[in-house]
Structure 1
Amino acid sequence: MKKTLISKEFIISAGKEIVTESGIQALNMRDIAQRCDISVGSVYNYFPSKEDLGIAIIESIWTEIIHNSKEYHSTLGFTENILFLFKNIQKGSKRYPSFFRVHPMTLSNMDKNKGREVMHRYFGHMKNGLIKSLDQDPNVREDVFSDKFTKVKFVDFVFSNILTLLMKEESCDYLVEIVKCIIYD
């Protein structure tokens, strides 16, 4: 094997290429090592287990999807940010085939605690962006939220529906219309 400059990022990048070409289910240590032109043992020097490598790749893909969105636009209303988020995740799903549908199962087959932590962190980041957007939307009715109908619970509801619609590969237009009926005059 040739002497190659190796880093965690280089290995993760090779894994992301495999996910782009063949889907997340095609990830394996041998193919990643071969693509990096290094031994499998060298991969283990950077990632102690296949699970650690898989989680790092999934985390990197989520980071790319989220940060390509340039965060939420404070000038957009809440419903526009729902569409913005939905479309960015759809774009990420096109770049990384079956990633969105398969990665939860992949994470559940790995170290459950680490996998859940990564997923909760990125989902939490997206939900926080939606809450911020909701807070900054001047068109939201002032009387809509209460102790029982909170912004956090509402965003959880909206976000879980976004995920469901993405899994079904459906539009989120109907969800946006429901949200408009609920929070706007």
Structure 2
Amino acid sequence: MARVIENPRELILNEAKKILHNEGFANISIRRVAKECNIAVGTIYNYFPTKKELIVEMMTNFWKEYFYNIQSIVSSQETFYVKLKSIFNNLAEFIKRFREVWLNNELYSSPDYIESGLEKQNIYIHKLIIIIEDLLKKEVDNHSHEITKKLNSYELASFIVMNFISMIQMPYFDYALFESILKELIQ
């Protein structure tokens, strides 16, 4: 009689994540994941027809975890600038973990992974821009004034996200200075 596995998709993803975190990308293979799950290789192919699809799903879950954390910040009762700084700090931690786990030469040596990874990254950066744009709109409603005379809310949110990423990657620019510039823009 065949063994019944509750939530095999999650089992596969969890075991693949363990391999990734403990041994690195090079040790992830469909056969290796099947062995760790104690299931047939064919079972994995039912859920993830290729290693690429397994990796992209793991990366997607990584981003979803980040956005789950961001939602708790956004729904808090903190002020706009406290929320923004918390989002920045979470993004810094996320990027640090992302570098350690996902920015791997082996992963990005294949054009398929590069294309899929960049496509997902662009989707999630856009999602972060929309979240910050919504915060900006609430901030403007609370103070009943225009966001800026030159930028609309989406452009300003894009400016914030791109500066966050730049500040994280090149920590020469102080967050406090960025916040003071932003306050001048929004006044």
Q: TM-score, normalised by structure 2?
A: 0.74
Deviation at 1:181, TM superposition (A): 2.6
3-state SS of 1:38 partner = coil
- The C-alpha deviation readout for 1:132-164, integer Å capped at 9, x for no partner, is 111111566724424x42111111111012122
Cα distance between partner residues in 2 of 1:30 and 1:167: 36
Cα distance between partner residues in 1 of 2:86 and 2:131: 11
Q: Which amino acid aligns with 2:60?
A: E
- The C-alpha deviation readout for 1:108-140, integer Å capped at 9, x for no partner, is 743566444422332222111101111111566
3-state SS of 1:98 partner = helix
- The C-alpha deviation readout for 1:66-86, integer Å capped at 9, x for no partner, is 103325136333332221112
Cα distance between partner residues in 1 of 2:76 and 2:120: 26
Contact 2:15 2:37 in 1 (8 A): yes
Cα distance between partner residues in 1 of 2:24 and 2:143: 40
Q: Which amino acid aligns with 2:165?
A: L
Larger-Rg structure: 2
> Structure 2, unaligned stretches of length 5 or more?
none
**What percentage of aligned pairs have identical amino acids?**
22
Deviation at 1:88, TM superposition (A): 2.0
Which residue does the alignment assign to 1:121? 123
> Structure 1, unaligned stretches of length 5 or more?
none
Cα distance between partner residues in 2 of 1:108 and 1:82: 35
Higher helix share: 2
Q: Which amino acid aligns with 1:59?
A: T
Q: How many residues align?
A: 181
Residues 2-151 of structure 1 aligned to structure 2 (within 5 Å): 3=3, 5=5, 7-22=8-23, 27-69=28-70, 70=72, 72-73=74-75, 75-93=77-95, 98-99=100-101, 101-102=103-104, 106=108, 109-110=111-112, 114-137=116-139, 142-146=145-149, 148-151=150-153
Moved more, 16-25 or 155-164: 16-25
Aligned partner (choices 159, 163, 183) of residue 180 of structure 1: 183
Deviation at 1:34, TM superposition (A): 3.0
Contact 2:73 2:86 in 1 (8 A): no
Aligned in 2, Cα 1:101/1:84: closer, same or farther, shift over 3 Å? Answer: farther
Aligned partner (choices 157, 175, 181) of residue 155 of structure 1: 157
Deviation at 1:37, TM superposition (A): 2.3
Contact 1:15 1:27 in 2 (8 A): yes
